[in-house]
């Protein structure tokens, strides 16, 4: 289950809050890792680098229902598999598709979803 997070302005960040996502500069260099505690020195450094907003963990936000999150994950995987195997699903009965059909069945079994 993912941790609730929210994007807030650096001016609203409180010392001790936890980063929800890694913080990178314009070149992709990691400035602070996800899970790091925000310190006063870090805030000064971020301001110097013109960073205005960061993602923090929001423990006060209601956590999503794990059952709904799992159902959403399965629906997403099913939709993605339907897209990836769209030609196979549209060409059932043609020669040479048995291997692809078997692959789709195995991937669906691995993902824990019904075949599209």
- Please name the helix (run of DSSP H) or strand (run of DSSP E) that holds residue 23, with its range, or none: strand 23-24
53, 7 contact by CB (below 8 A): yes
Q: How far is it, in rounded angstroms, from Cα 64 to Cα 70?
A: 10
> Cα–Cα–Cα angle for 10, 13, 14, nearest 5°?
150
- Taking the domains of the chain in order of start, what are their residue ranges? 5-57, 66-111
Rounded to two decimals, what is the model's pTM? Answer: 0.49
Per-residue pLDDT tens listing for the chain (116 residues): 467 888 999 999 999 999 999 988 878 888 899 999 999 999 999 999 888 899 999 877 566 666 777 788 888 888 888 888 887 766 554 545 777 888 888 888 887 888 77
In the Cβ-directed half-sphere of 46, how many Cα atoms lie within 13 Å?
Answer: 22
Residues 17 and 3: their CA atoms lie apart, in Å, by 14
Q: Indicate the class that CATH gives domain 5-57.
A: alpha beta
């Amino acid at each position: 289950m993912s941790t609730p997070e929210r994007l807030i302005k650096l001016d609203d960040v409180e010392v001790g809050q936890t980063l929800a996502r890694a913080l990178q500069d314009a070149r992709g260099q990691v400035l602070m890792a996800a899970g790091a505690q925000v310190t006063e020195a870090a805030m000064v450094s971020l301001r110097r680098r013109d960073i205005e907003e960061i993602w923090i963990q929001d423990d006060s936000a209601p956590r999503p229902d794990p059952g709904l999150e799992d159902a959403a994950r399965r629906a997403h995987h099913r939709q993605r598999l339907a897209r990836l195997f769209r030609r196979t699903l549209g060409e059932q009965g043609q020669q040479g598709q048995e291997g692809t059909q078997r692959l789709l069945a195995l991937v669906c079994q691995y993902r824990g979803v019904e075949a599209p």
